[in-house]
Structure formats: C-alpha cells, structure tokens
C-alpha cells in the first residue's frame, strides 16, 4: 500500500500567513509560513510546532530556558542537568550534550515508537 502524502499546511485556514499579520494573530499563529511547511501555533501558554517534511519522524521538542514566548527565563534547569538526571534513571540517549560546556546545547532520546524527543536549549 502506497503512503499518501499529507495535505500541505497552506491548505488549512491559518496557512500562508506570516507572523505579525492581523489575520494570523486572530488564528493563534505565533510565527511561521505555511508555504514553507512550518508553523508555530499558540493558545495561551501552550505552544505547538507543525513542521511538514522537515523531520523523518514525529518529533517532540522541549526548550529549557525559554518561556512560552521564546524569552529567556531567569531560572531554569540546564539541559546538561536534565541529561544527567535521565541517564541516572537509565534512559538511553541517542545524542548527548557536551557536559563540559555551558549555554546552548541539546540531547535526543527516542520514545517507544521510535520518535525522537529533542531537548534543545537555546540560551
């Protein structure tokens, strides 16, 4: 059976609107461009990213150090500390942050279905 391609994001009502337009704000579009197959949607403090064709599988991303507006938090748990905690609990990581560094870093775990979980610190 041949896999059916998903409908382009531009097909949906929020599609094609760039960040900052009145129409996109009304539809909770935080940023993105459906014609480029990526959107960041926001509802209150909840944020979800839609990225079509950019990743091989579904991906769940966490961004320690950022609030829901991608602004730096004054206090947060560093990605390397999160990595150490998960490793201590026996979680296998497929990519690891360099624990001898500070600032931006990331690590990747994989869920039971084989989908990556990216913990990506930008600050």
pLDDT, tens only, 38-93: 888 888 888 888 888 888 898 999 999 999 888 999 999 999 999 999 999 999 99
Indicate whether 21 pLDDT > 80.
no
pTM: 0.73
Indicate whether 7 pLDDT > 70.
no
Q: End-to-end CA distance of the chain, in Å?
A: 45
Q: How many domains does one find in the chain? A: 2
Whether 43 and 88 map to the same domain: the answer is no
Q: Give CA torsion, residues 70, 71, 75, 76, to 10 deg.
A: 10
Who wins on pLDDT, 13 or 123? 123
Whether 20 and 64 map to the same domain: the answer is no
Whether 11 and 39 map to the same domain: the answer is yes
Whether 20 and 67 map to the same domain: the answer is no
Whether 68 and 123 map to the same domain: the answer is yes
Who wins on pLDDT, 17 or 54? 54
Give the residue numbers spanning the domain of 16. Answer: 1-53
């Amino acid at each position: 059976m041949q896999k059916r391609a998903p409908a382009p994001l531009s097909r949906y009502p929020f599609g094609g609107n760039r960040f900052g337009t009145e129409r996109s704000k009304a539809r909770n579009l935080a940023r993105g461009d459906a014609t480029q197959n990526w959107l960041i949607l926001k509802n209150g403090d909840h944020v979800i990213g839609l990225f079509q064709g950019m990743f091989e599988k579904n991906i769940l991303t966490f961004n320690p150090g950022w609030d829901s507006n991608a602004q730096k938090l004054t206090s947060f748990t560093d990605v390397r500390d999160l990595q150490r905690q998960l490793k201590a609990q026996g979680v296998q990581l497929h990519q690891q942050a360099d624990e001898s560094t500070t600032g931006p870093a990331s690590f990747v775990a994989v869920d039971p279905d084989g989908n990556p979980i990216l913990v990506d610190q930008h600050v």
